[in-house]
């Protein structure tokens, strides 16, 4: 049975390494996962006043999150934290208060950075929010992808077979995690 996975990328940059990694994982994922990147850049900043008559983008986003069987988050590290756009998506999807669309579903985090640390702080910062949102976040294996500037060729294809092998084993573990629920 195929599981529908909402993929959220916390970087809006055209040449985003996180988006490239997301596409790589989507391409090598087992057929048991039906993955779709859910765009988050169009979401207005969360403002509780707007919940009385929410923007159409919020309504559509909330429904996609609610309909998903699980979540896969790709986060860059901005100033030792997650990007504002990703945090905003978490907030929009969890409101209005008492209507958390993220709750009780499996998820996982991939972080990346141009540094060798691979976005480790952002990874753990995001996990803190996911605990509160009641997303059952896969603990092992972890995915911190460092030195991303040299990972892709001019066609945005992953150059490193070692990294591809790691990502394949990681997404296979994620598929097993998702199918536990």
- According to the model, what pLDDT value does residue 1 have? 83
- According to the model, what pLDDT value does residue 68 have? 98
> For the chain, what are the domain ranges?
3-178
| Exposure string for 142-163, b = 16+ CB within 10 A, e = fewer | bbbbbbbeebbeeeeebeeeeb
Mean pLDDT, 10 residues at a time, over the chain (181 residues)?
A: 96 96 97 98 97 97 98 95 97 96 98 91 97 98 95 93 96 98 92
- What kind of fold does domain 3-178 have according to CATH? Rossmann fold (3.40.50)
Q: Judge residue 29's burial from the number of C-beta atoms within 10 Å of its C-beta, 0-12 exposed, 13-18 middle, 19 or more buried.
A: buried
Instruction: Please work out, in degrees rounded to the nearest 5, the angle formed at the alpha carbon of residue 107 by the alpha carbons of 161 and 66.
Output: 130
């Amino acid at each position: 049975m195929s599981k529908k996975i909402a993929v959220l990328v916390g970087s809006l940059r055209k040449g985003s390494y996180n988006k490239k990694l997301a596409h790589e994982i989507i391409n090598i994922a087992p057929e048991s996962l039906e993955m779709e990147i859910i765009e988050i850049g169009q979401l207005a900043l969360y403002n509780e006043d707007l919940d009385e008559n929410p923007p159409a983008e919020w309504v559509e986003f909330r429904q996609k999150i609610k309909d998903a069987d699980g979540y896969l988050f790709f986060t860059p590290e901005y100033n030792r934290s997650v990007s504002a756009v990703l945090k905003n998506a978490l907030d929009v999807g969890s409101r209005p208060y008492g209507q958390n669309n993220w709750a009780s579903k499996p998820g996982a985090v991939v972080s990346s950075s141009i540094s060798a640390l691979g976005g480790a702080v952002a990874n753990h910062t995001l996990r803190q929010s996911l605990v509160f949102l009641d997303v059952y976040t896969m603990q092992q294996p972890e995915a911190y992808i460092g030195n991303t500037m040299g990972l892709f060729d001019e066609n945005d294809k992953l150059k490193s077979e070692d990294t591809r092998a790691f990502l394949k084993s990681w997404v296979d573990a994620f598929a097993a995690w998702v199918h536990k629920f």
